[in-house]
Structure 1
Amino acid sequence: MTSWHAPFAVLPEGVRARVRITTEADRIVAVEPDTAPHDRDVRLPGLLLPGLANAHSHAFHRALRGRTHGDGGSFWTWRERMYEVAATLTPENYFALARAVFAEMVLAGFTVVGEFHYVHHAPDGSPYDHDAMREAVVAAAAEAGIRLTLLDTIYLTGGLDGSGYRPLDELQRRYGDGSVTAWAERAFADRVETPTVQVGAAVHSVRAVPAEELTAVRAALDAHGIDVLHAHVSEQVGEVEATQAVHGRTPVGLLARAGLVDSRFTAVHATHLSESDIAGLGRARAFAAFCPMTERDLGDGIGPARELLDAGARLCLGTDQHVTIDPFAELQALEGHERLRTLERGRLTPAELLAAASREGYGSLGWDGGRIVEGALADFVAVRTDSVRTTGSVPEQVPQTASATDVTDVVVGGEHVVADGTHHLGELGALLRRGLAPWSGQCVDHEPGTNDTGGPIP
């Protein structure tokens, strides 16, 4: 057993002072507020938050940060740049990049990530032995010390416009499995799950999976016992217009008709929703994963967060293309965008915002976490209350003033992954430089085919 002690902690009943948390293996076995610290306690500073969830990530998009702003363009031109990076991924360089990105997440306070994984095959579409791209992501998360839900993504067509579905183009060939059956067999038949890894599923979008195949997706998930399903939904106006032109329904309506919208479903972005979409997601108690910093960066728009909550849907947060990796920036932008959209303050309470960043994100990814309570996963995050950003904030509102740089300690499954501001992999700047080297033009400082400890890449 390990005991941890913090001056303040956010518990289900609110912020309590002088809190001891006892963990055994990967679970919390006791929570004791109003206790004096013991010599045996691991002392954590500031405010202790429950584990924070990144419900939507594309790890390889991190290679685009700070490299897409010089020529304007649109979401669609940005997407072409993204495809160019995806075309150069190998199991080896994907492992190095994903490990650095996942470590950056943990250092920022994220304790679990949902990786929306669709780069499955070699560039010519041929399969790797042993699903090497999936293995690279899983190994990267394990080394970085983050809990992972691998959202294995089905991607069958190259887009949808008024004339119907387009075939996969040359750059998209490595995403596709050819059929729902082939995708499910590859993704789920021999899946390996561990105490820190789960396998879920994703429909890339209604542009990438024909309507007539969506019912087969539902059957495949049920047959393989997959309970977590995500999909990009209504991120762009063009997507909604094309779906309505071809099918006479919105993307949410199309997914609902196939039986995919239920309490296990997460609509990623959910930006351009109709009133009936909002009502349907609410009735289903579905999740909506907003990625405010990405949606701002790409000019996607601002989704109806308050209306979704009021309808009964559950909000969570993701970093998507990693324009920044900061759970507090996403949380603050969720409320800030609501204020800009409605010209009103206080659209979401501090408790609702923290729930989106923690408990609801864990639920979206299929984990019992994001709470500091007996029996829950031993995932929690210590945040400074005395930094230049947080000094003077009441504890309940520290998440509204903090940034990722205020995180001092991160515990995942009872393991002290970040201690006193240092990740267990060491200095992450060097790790990121190595991971990004194939796309940044920087030199790597280790031999090809090895990691930076000199060992073979898994």
Structure 2
Amino acid sequence: MTSVPAFANCHSHAFHRSLRARTVGGADFWGWRDRMYAVAGLLDADRYHRLAKATFAEMRLAGYASVGEFHYLHSPDLAEAVIEAARAVGLRICLLSTLYERAGFADEPLHPVQQRFVLPLEVWQSRVTGLAARYADDPLVVIGTAIHSVRAVAPEHLAAAAATVPDAPLHVHVSEQPAENAACLAATGRTPVELLAEAGVWGPRTTAVHATHLTRGDIEILGSAGSYVCFCPSTEAELADGIGPSVALREAGARITLGSDSNTVIDGFAEARALAMHERLATGSRDGWTTEQLWRAASADGHASLGFSVSDTLTLRPSVQTAGMTEPLWAAGATDVLPPPDLDPAEVAAELSDVIDELWSLA
């Protein structure tokens, strides 16, 4: 048996787990998003609790100790259903309550399902502060905030959103798609990173999620602010997003973390390896990430970005895949993790199948 640090999953959309290995379609992110909306429109508190609980159980089985849940299904408000799902399976959760106001820079009409994401700024702030008070003494729960993206939040509200819970983690989707960068430049004359910098968003508690298409100036802003940057390599590959400049950001001073995002894969080993492998493909060099740097991104820095200070470990059992290894991060996978005694993998699989099949029968 081998003990290694437990993972932090710094960016998750739990309900996306229902899309794994289904015929979703869409030639790019925007086409995939339409099918994702169809599933989001079917979630009520009961279904979401069941789906999130089983998804979070899968994360614990894979060796995760903390999750950052980027939560924007506000109508009806499902925050408590998600929080209680994580608590039920013993997974620490940073619920990142997400402000979402509009469909885009040009006041495009909202997709019908997007109506569920939208709250007025003052209503959202009241909900966030209420949740923070409710769970203030729970060691398994942190209430943070998120700005969905510069396309979804009005520029004049960015500073107020960032200041809503000033000492808590703050996350934001940034520059995942070239189309969003182009729209932001056309509407404001600034990149998304620059626009958020003007609003005072960047700092040591802030995480930029994806950061796939950045300028050199963007990298310098994020690095000098000491912000976190969360890459989600399996999702960024699955959605054809691109390869972000992880090493350049790290060298500029940003702290890199990892997430499962759409939960196409829930495997901290796979995400860490993919971060290094994508950098090799983009640069033609094999020396961008050391094992020690990857472990820091996958565990210690990840937990810290979610407001947790933990030193949990996971145990690896011997397997054919890991035979002869000296560096577990380069050989092991989620199925090599010894399950915690309170979770039965067969039961978790059955729960996932039941709720996902129910959703797709309605879609």
Q: Same fold judged by TM-score > 0.5?
A: yes
Partners in 2 of 1:136 and 1:190 — Cα distance? Answer: 12
TM-score normalized with structure 2 length: 0.95
Deviates more, 1:252-261 or 1:167-176: 167-176
Find the partner of 1:142 among 79, 84, 87. 87
Query: Any idea what SS the aligned residue of 2:257 has?
Result: strand
| 1:51 matched residue in structure 2 | 6
Q: 1:425 to 1:135 in 2, by over 3 A?
A: farther
SS at match of 1:271: coil
Give the distance between the partners of 1:78 and 1:155, measured in 2 at CA: 19
Match of 2:324 among 378, 389, 392: 392
Q: Which residue does 2:97 correspond to in 1?
A: 152
> 2:192 matched to 1:251?
yes
Q: Considering fraction of residues, name the structure with more strand.
A: 1
Alpha carbons 1:156, 1:168 under 8 Å: kept:
no
Quote the offset at 1:425 in angstroms. 7.9
Contact 1:98/1:435 (8 A) holds in 2: no
Q: Cα offset for 1:190?
A: 4.4
Q: Which amino acid aligns with 2:224?
A: R
Structure 1 position 221 matched with structure 2 position 165: yes
Q: Which amino acid aligns with 2:51?
A: L
Q: Which runs of 5+ in 1 are unaligned?
A: 1-45, 123-130, 372-378, 410-417, 443-458
| DSSP 3-state at the match of 1:157 | coil
Could you say which residue in structure 2 is the equivalent of 1:168? 110
* Cα distance in 2 for residues equivalent to 1:424 and 1:152: 30
1:237 is matched with which residue: 172, 175, 178? 178
Q: State the Cα distance separating 1:73 from its structure 2 match.
A: 1.6
Q: Select the residue among 79, 83, 104 that pairs with 2:58.
A: 104
2-structure distance, mates of 1:285, 1:68? 40
Aligned to 1:408: 338
**Distance in 1, Cα, partners of 2:304 & 2:243:** 23
Counterpart code for 2:316: V
Choose which of 19, 27, 42 in structure 2 pairs with 1:88: 42
Asked if 1:308 is matched to 2:308, the reply is no
What SS does structure 1 have at the residue aligned with 2:309? Answer: coil
Q: 2:302 aligns with which of 355, 358, 361?
A: 361
Displacement after TM superposition at 1:308 (Å): 0.6
Instruction: Work out whether 1:207 is the aligned partner of 2:151.
Output: yes
In 1: Cα distance, 2:12 partner to 2:181 partner = 22
Q: Residue 265 of structure 2: which of 311, 315, 324 is its match? A: 324
CA contact (8 A) 2:26 2:32 kept: no
Instruction: With the length of structure 1 as denominator, give the TM-score of the two structures.
Output: 0.76
Do 1:96 and 1:434's aligned partners in 2 also have CA atoms closer than 8 Å? no
**1:153–1:204 Cα contact (<8 Å) kept:** yes
- Alpha-carbon offset, residue 135 of structure 1: 1.1
**1:427 aligned residue (347, 354, 361):** 347
Distance across 2 between alignment mates of 1:196 and 1:320 = 21
- Given the superposition, is the C-alpha separation of residues 261 and 172 from structure 1 closer, same or farther in structure 2, using an over 3 Å criterion? same
Is the contact between residue 331 and residue 357 of structure 1 (CA under 8 Å) also seen in structure 2? yes
Q: What is the distance in 2 between the residues matched to 1:59 and 1:338?
A: 27
Tell whether the 8 Å contact from 1:165 to 1:207 is kept in structure 2 after alignment: no
1:198 aligns with 2:142: yes
Letter in 2 for 1:197: V
- Structure 2: gaps spanning 5 or more residues: none
Count of residue pairs the alignment pairs up: 359
Q: CA deviation at 1:165?
A: 3.4
Name the amino acid aligned to 2:319. Answer: S
Q: Please tell me whether Structure 1 or Structure 2 has the larger radius of gyration of its CA atoms.
A: 1
Aligned partners of 1:275, 1:165: CA distance in 2, in Å?
A: 30
Q: Residue deviations 1:306-350, cap 9 Å, x none? A: 001100100000000011111111011000101100111121000
> What secondary structure is seen at the aligned counterpart in 1 of 2:201?
coil
Residues of 2 paired with 1:218 and 1:94: CA distance? 27
Per-residue displacement from partner, 1:432-454 (whole Å, max 9, x unpaired)?
11221322439xxxxxxxxxxxx
1:437 pairs with 2:354: no
- State the Cα RMSD in Å: 1.6
Question: Does 2:292 align with 1:351?
Answer: yes
